[in-house]
Structure 1
Amino acid sequence: MSDIALVHATFADAGEAERIGQAMVEAQLAACVNLLGPCTSIYRWRGVVERGDEYRALFKTTPELARELADAIAAAHSYDLPVIEIWPVAAGDAVLDWVRAETR
């Protein structure tokens, strides 16, 4: 088993998630993006509890590219404070080889 990085982000709508996901794969910052669909988020923002529908995306990349990918997602994102999380994940060597081959 080897490590890859999963980068998780939420977006305002499905179109934004797809547009940014496509751009990150085309830029070879991610080998793949899974668009996970709508979710309901409940969060505190500026002292008020808010609730809203968001769209989740999970990007597969290398540990070396994870921060650059997260920064690129944030730069293209519509939110003032996009929540982008980086998760190290154990994956099979074949998956790691594929992720490395499809990213720069």
Structure 2
Amino acid sequence: MTTQFKLIFTTCKNEAEARTLAKALVAQKLAACVNILPNMTSIYMWEGEVSEEVEAKLLIKTKSEKMNDVFETIKSLHSYEVPEIQVVDVATGNLAYFHWMDEVLN
């Protein structure tokens, strides 16, 4: 299995923003599926202070060739000054699922 499939993580300030972003990514065929994990607590350093916020985490399933467009869509629709964008290579998994992703993203 090659690393043609990617899992991209980002967080949003709330579930509504997460839904807007997820729907845009799927509608534009930039993601085959986006999972939203609502009400996640994040503790992080921002502007020299420890901050704590309730956020929504997105797990974006996509292909390598769509990755840069996913980045640009996140940046354009996101309310954060510095949105999280982290990418994990998918090394292996259910081949039938990857076949479905190929169909959806073409």
Q: Which residue of 1 aligns with 2:8?
A: 7
Contact in 2 for aligned 1:28/1:103 (Cα 8 Å): yes
Give % identity.
35
Q: CA deviation at 1:77?
A: 0.3
TM-score by length of 1: 0.91
Aligned pairs for 1:11-90 within 5 A: 11-90=12-91
TM-score by length of 2: 0.90
- After TM superposition, where is structure 1 displaced by more than 3 Å over at least 4 residues in a row? none
Cα shift readout 1:17-50 (whole Å, capped 9, x = no counterpart): 0011011100000000111121111111111111
Q: 1:65 is paired with a residue of what secondary structure? A: helix
- 1:102 is the counterpart of 2:70: no
Q: Provide the rounded CA distance (Å) in 2 between the counterparts of 1:73 and 1:40.
A: 20
Contact in 2 for aligned 1:2/1:93 (Cα 8 Å): no
Contact in 2 for aligned 1:20/1:73 (Cα 8 Å): yes
Cα RMSD over matched residues? 1.3
Q: Provide the rounded CA distance (Å) in 1 between the counterparts of 2:68 and 2:6.
A: 10
Unaligned runs of at least 5 residues, structure 1: none
Worse overlay, 27-36 or 84-93: 84-93
Paired residues in the alignment total 104
Unaligned runs of at least 5 residues, structure 2: none
Q: Provide the rounded CA distance (Å) in 2 between the counterparts of 1:100 and 1:21.
A: 18
- Which of the pair is proportionally richer in strand? 1
Cα shift readout 1:33-91 (whole Å, capped 9, x = no counterpart): 11112111111111111111110111110011122212211111000110111111122
